[in-house]
Amino acid sequence: MPLITDRVRSTKGRALSFEAAVAEGVQIFVGAIVTTSASGYAQPATDTTGASLLGIGAIGVDNTEGLDGRRDVTVDRGHLEWLPSTGLTQANVSQDVFVVDDGQVAGSSVNSVRVGTLVALEGSMALVHIGVFSSAALGAATALLSGPGTFTRAAESSYVDGAPGSLAYVAADTAAPEDRGGGVAGLLLFREVENLVTDSEDLEAVSWAAAGGGAIAGGADAAPDAGTDADSAVFGTGANENVRTTSPGGGTTALAPVCASVFLAGATGGEQARLRVENAAGTNATAPEAVLTTAWQRVQIQRDGATSGSSERLLLLNSATVDNSTVRTWGAQYEDDIRYAGPYVRTSGARATRPADVWTYAPGDVGAALLSGPSRVVVAPYWTDALLDNADERWILSFDGAADGVRFRKVSSNLLVEVLQGGAVVAESLPITLTQFAPVTIDWYPAEASVLVSGAAGGNGAGPVGTAWTWGAPSSGVRVGGVFGGANELDGILVGASR
């Protein structure tokens, strides 16, 4: 039944909150499911063709006497919330739920306006992960485009499954539903990743060695991917005791940055260790002490370019302050020409590569609303502005190629969101500062020639007014999370999208 008054809310987890302009002639109650109108404005949810989820109303707004956009409503998304439901059973858990009206969800509806994923059911009350969709994590972009599109990646991919120290795998050509916890969940869209460590999970292999008094202990401990193959590095009192790869990075690019990472956990908790990358030319970098618990965490270190790309190696060093540590160690990765760790790539006896995620849509799947109307995306980057070089690009959406679309770009020391039409920047954000894995919301308004950012660590708000634009219908297609026919992948998580 549609709401006629505010609803008492019961929520779990951290929500992403943002403002949305309200449609004319409507009232939105606290706790209402909020979707877009045909013109892109917020309205109480109805099972209507073309509607897409914005979130749950956090405040009540009465715009019954106002025009489109006269008032704004704060909506929450990405959290868990108990919602009234109809027709759901335990068999619906982990499946999408859909709008019945602004106060109720169901397991199906005529127009399939998604609200989120059903997590639990108690009687008629449904615990829903708001704005996170179970359908192969493709729900986000279907709010912008028509249908699921075509997703390809020519090999398996790992993804974070509920917490940063927990991994799972999907097969080739299957989208990875990354969930880092705390409402940071969506579709993983990443570049090609090569792991230069030849035995990423086996410290007893010939590609690993102990030195300086450190030792390797083979084990069968539970690993982050639920396997039982985690080994340990055993350290005594020497600060230089280490376990090292013999040469993971031979063939890396001279003068390019590298990033090394490994999953670590203490045997009992309280242990400490350090990660180092080093080069025969003497260009080394050591990460700060990692304080460990018994839960797995991924520790990483990046080093800018060395004069030589040969004789690279990864070291796990004993703590400089805590002696006699047994450190469970698994999933070592060494990547060339990048400053942040990508999705883990498992290896056994040879290097291995995870191809890029390529998610495309045919020209007929692109509607006029996306080409000329306001749209929103929510992304959680694997990187920060400080980890990009000048002129680096990370694309959110592109039409036919790199001339039309929306991207992040580093301009000198500033990171901007830019909208391009015909190869020219027609609108841009203020300079922004991002936090690794934290969602940021990006709205663009073609008629107003503006880009609005919210949720960033710095630089939130509307950028300078540019030039109004309308994208032409693509002739080849659209790519989400990269350049159509090219690269410059998003390297992050598409948390949500709407228009």
Q: Are residues 338 and 379 in the same domain?
A: no
Q: Which residues 6+ apart lie within 8 Å of 111 measured at CB?
A: 47, 48, 49, 51
**Which pLDDT value is given to residue 364?**
86
Q: What are phi and psi of 271, to 5 degrees?
A: -70, 160
Residue 165 covered by a domain:
no
Of 108, 134, 160, the position where a domain reaches its end is 134
* β-strands 104-106, 80-86 pairing: parallel
Distance CA 205, CA 246 (A): 10
Q: Which residues 6+ apart lie within 8 Å of 370 measured at CB?
A: 144, 145, 471, 499
Distance CA 129, CA 446 (A): 31
**Which pLDDT value is given to residue 470?**
94
Residue 161 covered by a domain:
no
Residue 171 covered by a domain:
no
Q: Are residues 317 and 435 in the same domain?
A: no
Of 98, 113, 134, the position where a domain reaches its end is 134
Residue 177 covered by a domain:
no
* Among the listed residues 276, 174, 163, the one whose alpha carbon sits nearest the alpha carbon of residue 224: 163
Q: In angstroms, what CA-CA distances link 165 with 137, 160, 180, 263, 300?
A: 20, 7, 9, 7, 13
Of 298, 322, 354, the position where a domain reaches its end is 354
In the β-sheet with 393-399, what is the strand arrangement from edge to edge? 150-152, 358-361, 478-480, 393-399, 404-411, 414-421, 424-428
CATH code of 372's domain:
2.60.120
CB-side neighbour CA atoms (13 Å) of 438: 12
What tokens appear for 350 in the block?
A: 């040879």
**Which pLDDT value is given to residue 22?**
94
Q: Are residues 203 and 349 in the same domain?
A: yes
Q: Tokens 């929510």 map to which residue?
A: 378
Q: Are residues 297 and 363 in the same domain?
A: no
Q: Are residues 376 and 487 in the same domain?
A: yes
Q: What are phi and psi of 447, to 5 degrees?
A: -65, -35
Distance CA 484, CA 402 (A): 7
3-state SS string for 267-318:
CCCCCEEEEEEECCCCCCEECCCEECCCCCEEEEEEECCCCCCCCCEEEEEE
Distance CA 3, CA 390 (A): 50
Q: Are residues 224 and 347 in the same domain?
A: yes
Give the number of domains in the chain. 3
| Single-letter amino acid code for the residue at 252 | T
Q: Are residues 271 and 376 in the same domain?
A: no
Q: Tokens 């300078």 map to which residue?
A: 464
Distance CA 309, CA 312 (A): 7
Q: What are phi and psi of 25, to 5 degrees?
A: 70, 20
Q: Are residues 326 and 391 in the same domain?
A: no
Residue 181 covered by a domain:
no
Handedness of CA 250, 251, 253, 254 (dihedral sign): positive
Q: Are residues 293 and 310 in the same domain?
A: yes
Residue 88 covered by a domain:
yes
Q: Are residues 220 and 332 in the same domain?
A: yes
Contact between residue 498 and residue 53 where contact means Cβ atoms under 8 Å apart? yes
Q: Structure pTM?
A: 0.73
CATH code of 216's domain:
2.60.120.260
Weakly modelled stretches of the chain, pLDDT under 70: 14, 132-148, 247-255, 280-283, 306-311, 498-499
Q: In angstroms, what CA-CA distances link 166 with 222, 223, 330, 407, 490?
A: 11, 8, 12, 30, 22
What is the span of the domain harbouring residue 295? 195-354
pLDDT digits (tens, 9 = 90+) for 77-133: 878 899 999 999 988 887 889 999 999 999 989 888 889 888 889 999 999 988 766
Q: Are residues 329 and 210 in the same domain?
A: yes
Is 297 exposed, middle or buried (CB count within 10 Å of its CB: 0-12, 13-18, 19+)?
middle
Residue 166 covered by a domain:
no
Distance CA 164, CA 168 (A): 11
Q: Are residues 240 and 114 in the same domain?
A: no
Residue 48 covered by a domain:
yes
